Amino acid sequence: LEKGVKEVAGSASQAAVSVRDISDNIQGVRGVSKETATSAVNTNEASMELGKIAATLSEIIQKFDNKQS
């Protein structure tokens, strides 16, 4: 009986370690997900700014082309 109890206790201890490892991994994934979301927002903002710059450049080129005609 004592051996069985020790085996159960050992299994429970191993399970606790596994659960802790899984929890740590989930926290790591959560952190990376947050970083990815932040990077996506930054990329979107940069893309929008680049679009504005491209539109301004296009307007300047059109004015230049009109002056050349």
Ramachandran assignment for 28, one of left (phi > 0), alpha (psi -120 to 50 degrees), beta (any other): alpha
pLDDT of residue 68: 80
Band of residue 67 on the pLDDT scale cut at 50, 70, 90: confident
Q: Which pLDDT tens digit goes with each residue over 1-52?
A: 888 999 999 999 999 999 999 999 999 999 999 999 999 999 999 999 999 9
CA distance 15 to 23: 12
Element (H, E) at 23: helix 2-68
69 pLDDT higher than 80: no
Can you say how many angstroms the Cα of residue 14 is from the centroid of all Cα atoms in its chain? 31
